[in-house]
Amino acid sequence: MDRRTVLRAGAGAGLAAGLWAPAGRAAAAGGSEGRDWGGLKRLLGGRLYFPGDPRFAPLNMPANHSYSHRVPAAIACPRSHEEVLATVEWAGRHAIGVVPRGGGHSYAGYSTSDGGLLVHLGGMRDVTVNGTTLTVGAGARELDVYAALKDTGLLLPGGRCPEVGVGGLVLGGGIGPATRAYGLTCDSLTGTTVVTGDAYTARCDENSNSELFWACRGGAGGNFGINTSFTFTLHPVRRATAWYDLSWAWKDAAPALKRLAELIAEPRYRKSLTCQFGLRTAGERRVYAQGLCFGSERSEHPEQTLRTLVTRLRPRRSATGTAGIWECMRRFHETPPGDPYAAGSIVAGKDLGASVVDELVDSLGSWKAASPDSRAAVSFFAMGGADAALRPADTAYVHRDATVIVDLAAHWSDADPAPVPDANRQQLQALYRSLSRHLGTDAYQNFPDPGLRNWQTAYYGGNYARLQTVKRTVDPARLFTYPQGIAPTP
């Protein structure tokens, strides 16, 4: 059934096909010569900003300053679903590309625009808790969810950065400190409302617009439209929770990482012990591991597990404790400094081997800082717990057999001259090539690399063709697009 047939057939046929049952489209408006910016500004109550306006530059600045040179034609700041709908309809009528921005933390600058319409969703940060149901607005940040849930004992498994938008996190999957215990952020999503590229309102869940709902769980942001709200099921955390933060001297990096890799791979810890570990070159080179412990599946108390952990891993420094789930999560919040950087990722489907660890330690040990502010980091996110409960085709997020997700990054200063970012990128690319020879080239769509070859397969595997079909249905004209955006089926 093609798109026109689906639309003609109405809601019943769309539900049966699992494709398309729009709740309504913005009212059609007459064409105009040129772009009626004044009309859009009126629709937004004046909240439309152009280059030169005092509010423009702060709204336009992305978290990755490498893309701060990109300048949209205008920045729209809607505060409601209706204003988003009107904005998208206006953009389609005036043939200008739309880029939504929640937190603005896309590694590859995909929440920036050059000459298009940037839709800044920061005015839609409402958060509502009703029992074990959480509903958030399009622009809600992780810190907004933390504020709403910190005293409840209810968990939404999110990420590490309090300023990251919940929308971007969930649309790309969503990994963080509680992933192995409670799954990805997208695994808790039960519904979302989307304004699509054709300016339709689509209310999506498992039973309504189910293909678009499937795509919104790992198909990445900026592909199908603007999600104006998200609804999640929260997890009561009844098990005791403990946290740990360990570090080693650089001379002990290789043996420490090898012991870590062995420990997180043990079946008894796959759902009870979460772990982010890695190496950093900033200041004193160091190796670290941090995460949460919920007690083992053999009913071992988390403090006992932590004692075992520290004994086996022999860190140079260790800090551990028990607390409520949100206090534990807060301990690992990381706020990006706001600087230029380059990054990439590898999704590994096998456990780290000794040769991989040795090569990694050698590479970072010989990393040459291109400037005083240059630094590199490689982070490993342990997977293979609750995140593996679903099959690769159950959601658009395909990496259900992952054992670890590797995040590689090189940072520098806004003031550094051009040779500095070039030198950092070259070293990062060499490190990526070295690791990918052992771990493969699958990649995490929330850690995008703009230079990645065959990104369609790397991010989405066998799910890409299905995502293309959804794209053709809801945004065939590609009002929403970017260099690694999903293309509609021809």
Residue 120 pLDDT > 90: yes
> Given pLDDT bands bounded at 50, 70 and 90, which one contains residue 12?
very low
pLDDT at 142: 97
DSSP state of 269: G
| CA-to-CA separations, 340 to 62, 67, 417, 443, 447, in angstroms, rounded | 10, 8, 12, 21, 15
- Minimum mean pLDDT among 174-183, 295-304, 369-378, 428-437: which range? 295-304
- Helices 354-365 and 419-439: angle between axes, nearest 10 degrees: 170
Listing DSSP states for 42-105 in one string gives: HHTTT-EE-TTSTTHHHHH--SBGGGTT---SEEE---SHHHHHHHHHHHHHTT--EEEESS--
Residue spans of the domains in the chain: they are: 3-123+465-474, 127-237, 242-455
pLDDT at 33: 45
> Given pLDDT bands bounded at 50, 70 and 90, which one contains residue 60?
very high
pLDDT at 1: 29
Residue 236 exposed, middle or buried by CB count within 10 Å (0-12, 13-18, 19+): exposed
Query: Rounded to an integer, what distance in angstroms lies between the CA atom of residue 309 and that of residue 324?
Result: 20
pLDDT at 29: 42
What residue has token string 């890799």? 261
* Proportion of the chain above pLDDT 70, given as a percent: 92
Greater model confidence, 1 or 253: 253
CATH number of 3-123+465-474: 3.30.43.10
Query: Rounded to an integer, what distance in angstroms lies between the CA atom of residue 394 and that of residue 258?
Result: 33
Residue 32 pLDDT > 60: no
CB contact at 8 A, 387 and 187: yes
pLDDT at 30: 39
pLDDT at 303: 83
Residue 360 pLDDT > 80: yes
User: What's the half-sphere exposure (Cβ side, CA atoms, 13 Å) at 231?
Assistant: 14
Residue 21 pLDDT > 70: no
The answer regarding whether domain 242-455 maps to CATH 3.40.462.20 reads: yes
pLDDT at 305: 83
CB contact at 8 A, 448 and 107: yes
- Minimum mean pLDDT among 4-8, 172-176, 406-410: which range? 4-8
Residue 25 pLDDT > 70: no
pLDDT at 286: 86
* Proportion of the chain above pLDDT 90, given as a percent: 82
CATH number of 127-237: 3.30.465.10
pLDDT at 4: 30
Give the range with max mean pLDDT: 11-25, 302-316, 437-451.
437-451
How does the average pLDDT of the chain come out, rounded?
Answer: 91
Strands 127-130, 24-25: pairing is unpaired
pLDDT at 31: 37
Greater model confidence, 269 or 16: 269
Give the residue-averaged pLDDT of 380-409. Answer: 97
Check for a shared fold between 127-237 and 242-455. no
Query: Using CA of residue 199, residue 213, residue 475, residue 17, what is the dihedral sign?
Result: negative
H/E stretch holding 438: helix 419-439
pLDDT at 11: 31
> Given pLDDT bands bounded at 50, 70 and 90, which one contains residue 2?
very low
CB burial string 32-68: b at 16+ within 10 A, e below: eeebbeebbbebbeebbbeeeeeebeebbebbbbbbb
